[in-house]
Amino acid sequence: MFNPYKVREDFPILKRKIDGNQIIYFDNAATSQKPRQVIEAMKKFYEEQNANVHRAVHTLSLEATELYEEAHEEVAEFIGAKSMEEIIFVRGTTEAINLVAYSWGLHNLKRGDEVLVTLMEHHSNIVPWEILSEIKGFKVKYLDVNLDGTLNYELLKEMLTPRVRLVCVTHVSNVTGVINDVETVAKLAHENDALVLVDGAQSVPHIPVNVQKLDCDFLAFSGHKMLGPTGIGVLYGKREILEKMKPFHGGGGMINEVSFNLEMHRCKISWNELPWRFEAGTPDIGGAVGLTAAIKYLRTLGMENVKTHEYKLTEYTMKHLKECPKVTVYGPKDAALKCGIIPFNVERLDSHDVALLLNSYGIMIRSGFHCAQPLHEKLKIPSSARVSFYVYNTQEEVDRFIEALKEIEGVL
């Protein structure tokens, strides 16, 4: 059975105290903490197997290459991809989306086309398309959301005109925790001959995700939000689409051959096979090892168990936040529609003030726009405080959080 108290024993940082307070880490949507299994796997790699990959025949290089390719296989299995050829390692969700923008969008979008982006997207799924639209002349259009932060599916149907070439949608909002029906979005988009790019940064770490079931064309997510190290992320793409895309970065490892014609004074370049053609230069091999360890850890816990645990914590927290009369909670009131994220504000306090006050209790949350300013403007709030849960959080921590909020209200 899933036991968060047992899980906590694997996370050294949770034993830390600040100003006498045992830390409560409720900023998991920004980044997660790392279990000793991940830390030890990376330590072992650097102490025993460190070498470059795909570049030598000596023992260390062969071992490093095996570990690096195993990481692709582990990711493919974890998200239900057909093969490791559909898994590209990048620095994180942001780089994955930019890869799609410049490897696919730059060569396929033109004046008169449209990219449809939901209003709840993280800036990393907005800014690249706005930048590229200035270069290529296509339009970026925004799909509005309902007042509770949920997606407006009827409006989506209306906006899916023949001009739309790509739909960008987050699987789980990093502000409200809303879980979007990606299957429905993909079905509607494909009926319109449009592709679908899914931001999975907040879904892959927290709920079971199967890309074939979702039928998305691209899925981007980050290792550091799912117990892995920073600096490594994943772009999944359907093989038939990736095969037609040109590389985003040029350099070593992503080519099959570079030959020079002395008479023409030109180089002839042919690309490497998938996924290596999109992984130029020396990759984050240690990060891949850490990501493998993180996936194995999550698989041991069971993603259904992870999802259920976070749902119970979210439901429990939303119930007890009602005991705080000066607290306003945003997003759906039904915890079943959310994924371990609760945005809120305290009357007469800026969100940063709330975060600083909670920090004095050892409770660590996020405050501000959460890199999603358009959604805050839609909800008509200047900023918000945000608690977000993961596998090591407990009801006792929520109780301390609620008591701290009550004390803050008392001071006000």
Q: Mind telling me the catalytic residues?
A: 371
Task: Report the C-alpha gap between 332 and 338 in whole angstroms.
Answer: 7
Q: Which of 184, 121, 119 is nearest to 153 (CA)?
A: 184
* Whole-Å CA distances, 332 to 6, 179, 339, 344: 31, 10, 11, 12
The per-type count for the chain, helices as H runs and strands as E runs, is 15, 17
Task: Report the C-alpha gap between 121 and 362 in whole angstroms.
Answer: 30
Q: How many CB atoms lie within 10 A of CB 356?
A: 12
Question: Could you tell me where the beta strands, DSSP code E, fall in 171-222?
Answer: 195-199, 218-222
136 burial type by CB count under 10 A (0-12 exposed, 13-18 middle, 19+ buried) = middle
Radius of gyration, alpha carbons of the chain: 22
Task: Report the C-alpha gap between 174 and 371 in whole angstroms.
Answer: 9
